[in-house]
Amino acid sequence: MEDANGSHLRRITPWGEWSTGAHWSPEGTWILFDGLQPASGLHNLFVVHPNGTGLKAITSISLGGACCAVWSPDGKKLLVLQGSYLVIMNRDGSGLRRLTPGDPRDQGVAEYAWGP
């Protein structure tokens, strides 16, 4: 994280993990990102406040990993690629519900987003 002019850099992600796919929550109070654990090759989803506080995992590797999440317009839900399925969940990781019968990439879906 840094100021708009590039000053005051500070790390807000866990050490030892690669982070990808960062997205601001619609209200701007959280940053959602994928954390890749190189040893396992699986992703988890994390949220953290922009100032680096409140870091917490919202998915667990034991669920098959998760990546590429996008916020719902109201910030209450996440659309996530989890293992081989497209799923929807609450912003805290609860209420997981599978939406596709298999990997959407196998069905020709390269991208996904919330509709209007």
Q: Is the pTM of this model over 0.85?
A: no
pLDDT at 24: 92
Q: In the predicted model, is pLDDT for residue 98 greater than 80? A: yes
Q: In the predicted model, is pLDDT for residue 100 greater than 70? A: yes
Are 48 and 32 in contact by the 8 Å Cβ rule? The answer is no
- For residue 66, the surrounding DSSP H or E stretch is strand 66-71
Taking only Cα atoms into account, the Rg of the chain, rounded to an integer number of angstroms, comes to: 14
Average pLDDT rounded to a whole number, residues 38-60? 81
Q: Give the burial class of 74: count Cβ atoms within 10 A of its Cβ; 0-12 exposed, 13-18 middle, 19 or more buried.
A: exposed
Band of residue 27 on the pLDDT scale cut at 50, 70, 90: very high
